[in-house]
Chains A and B, each alone.
Chain A
Amino acid sequence: MNLEFRHLVEGDENGLIDLWNRAHARYVGHFRKTVERWRWTIRQWHDVAPSSIVIAMLAGRMCAYGVLDNDGTVLEFAVEPELEPERKRVVCTGLVEKLEARGRVLRCETLSFMAPAFDRTIAVVLEEAGYAAERLDSFGPGLGILNPALLMGAILAHPDHGLPESWTRRIVIETPPGGYLVSPQSRTLIDVDHGRATVGDASSAVPENVSWRLEVDMTTLTDLIFGLTSFHEAVRKGRLTFAGGCTESDANTLFSALIVKGDWYTPQSDWF
């Protein structure tokens, strides 16, 4: 296997970001990287030297990289997802060793990686290298919806979140604040035309010719969209109501289309 390791050189950033995006495409909860933001995060804000950025090259192509902060935190660790498992294991093992060697040069007391739980290759490599694993239940993202119309519009516009093509109707969702301190919108209008949705803020005036009316407070809406509660649980507890010809099945179809699916992973370099 023609595996080599080298440090960051000028012009590498685009390749690293492309590799990062491919490696994390299946996860939810990370922020989009741009070259400018990456340079700021890694090279300026965290002041990481090029010799602390290790790149694995397989047959002359980038296949993995790791970024070691001066305090022993591995800010980024990405591996080409298309690699077959055995090659991935060898690449990860080598990369971890290189980062540890750099950590010893920096006199780091500990080395700390963050990885998603479902990446078994990285887990096995790190555990075999002696790393203690800890599920990060005690720290994580808190999330609030600021603009429900914008959010729901973006979700419904995505090919993975379609509404039935048979639907042509005007839907209003009343969204009282619930537990929210800041809730600029109180009403969202969803115009569906053969399954294609146009979503807008209707807080200022009650729309006319509405087919269905639903009401769900912002806290419950957040729980529903991010999979923290089920539609049936919300209905059972009276936190979601529907009227005007909308059946429970219809409402379930609508909210099912709004659910953000995927495993949430917030990498170390995104922590603010």
Chain B
Amino acid sequence: MLPPDTRVVDYEPGSDQAYWDIVRACFGNVYGDLEFWRGKHVRRPGFDPRDVKRVYVGQVPAACYAASTAWLCLGRELFVPASIEGDVAVLPEFRGKGLTLLAHAAMGEELYSRGLALRVGLATRALHTRFYGRRFGHVAIPTTNIRYQKRLRQSTQLAQVVFALANSFRKRALVRRLVRRVPLTVLLRFQGYSPVMIRLEQASATLIAPREGVPDLILSVANQAVRAASGSWKSRLARFPLCVMRGQVRVHGMAAVLRRLV
């Protein structure tokens, strides 16, 4: 399966472009530029030319494989020398020929001779199941990692949309009745966006910071409902009843608010 005249070589000064060409061909613009590659590898403290390998098929640099070394924590003050491996890239026309396995084996032998105990690679679970776990024999470690994300720019837009809608709603008869004696403070929590608090009065609607008031009504919209909805903000609000039934939208304080109508 391995093509004839295949060999693994270590990094040499001046060969940066060869690596970058392979990485760019495989990962595109997502990866970063040549300076990013240099910063990640060649300029890393403790960089060893053996940390970055190219696989040649004949005269063609067809694949690359990289590692970094560090001390991995295995518990309170227990650290072991380990490699962190990645930037595995094989040009499309050379895939399926065993180049990654060859590079992995060559890197492994060298890392072992340098006194490392563990090898670590970060990848999607799908890729691990399909390839790394199956071919390298490595195991996927479950983590406690949680990713938290918020849309910053759209949060500002959301606040503006809510403010505009609030200003429009406050002129309606029902809303005027709700706020005829005391203002109504509504907190809108769209998961993935900054919370928006609106104070509705007969004469005005005001955006206030969530910490500066106690809301009378809280509307919480789960991420699934936010992502499932498409179209304009008005159409999303139109799907409100279905989302409530699914528990993706929750309303707190409605009873007290409705008592205002009595």
Question: Which A residues touch B156, using CB under 8 A?
Answer: 104
A6 at the interface (CB under 8 A from B): no
Residue in A29, A118, A265 whose CB lies within 8 Å of B72? A29
A84 at the interface (CB under 8 A from B): no
Shortest Cβ gap from B107 to chain A (Å) = 8
Q: Are A222 and B139 in contact (CB under 8 A)?
A: yes
- Residue in A closest to B193 when the chains form the complex, CB atoms: A130
Shortest Cβ gap from B134 to chain A (Å) = 8
A113 at the interface (CB under 8 A from B): yes
A111-B152, A134-B147 as given contacts; A28 in contact with B75, CB under 8 Å:
yes
Question: Which B residues touch A110, using CB under 8 A?
Answer: 149-152
Question: Which B residues touch A141, using CB under 8 A?
Answer: 120-122, 140-141, 143
Question: Which of chain B's residues 138-174 have a Cβ closer than 8 Å to chain A?
Answer: 138-156
Q: How far is the CA of A155 from the CA of B68 in the complex (A)?
A: 22
Q: How far is the CA of A100 from the CA of B43 in the complex (A)?
A: 30
Q: How far is the CA of A104 from the CA of B40 in the complex (A)?
A: 27
Q: How far is the CA of A260 from the CA of B153 in the complex (A)?
A: 43
Question: Which of chain B's residues 31-50 have a Cβ closer than 8 Å to chain A?
Answer: 36, 39-40, 43-45
Residue in B39, B79, B192 whose CB lies within 8 Å of A130? B192
Question: Which B residues touch A25, using CB under 8 A?
Answer: 76-77
Q: How far is the CA of A183 from the CA of B81 in the complex (A)?
A: 17
Question: Which of chain B's residues 102-154 have a Cβ closer than 8 Å to chain A?
Answer: 104-105, 108-109, 111-112, 115-126, 128, 132-154
- Residue in A closest to B44 when the chains form the complex, CB atoms: A40
Q: Are A146 and B112 in contact (CB under 8 A)?
A: yes
Residue in A45, A130, A144, A261 whose CB lies within 8 Å of B44? A45
Question: Which B residues touch A222, using CB under 8 A?
Answer: 138-139
Question: Which A residues touch B68, using CB under 8 A?
Answer: 272
A109-B152, A130-B191, A271-B122 as given contacts; A143 in contact with B146, CB under 8 Å:
no
Which of A162-170, A174-182, A207-215 lies on the face that meets chain B?
A: A174-182
B245 at the interface (CB under 8 A from A): no
Question: Which A residues touch B215, using CB under 8 A?
Answer: none
Q: Are A146 and B120 in contact (CB under 8 A)?
A: no
B201 at the interface (CB under 8 A from A): no
Q: Are B148 and A180 in contact (CB under 8 A)?
A: no
Question: Which A residues touch B84, using CB under 8 A?
Answer: 31, 270, 272
Question: Which A residues touch B123, using CB under 8 A?
Answer: 139-140, 142
Q: How far is the CA of A34 from the CA of B74 in the complex (A)?
A: 17
Q: How far is the CA of A60 from the CA of B237 in the complex (A)?
A: 48
**9 closest Cβ contacts across the A-B interface?**
A182-B108, A179-B137, A180-B137, A132-B192, A131-B148, A144-B138, A32-B71, A136-B145, A31-B70
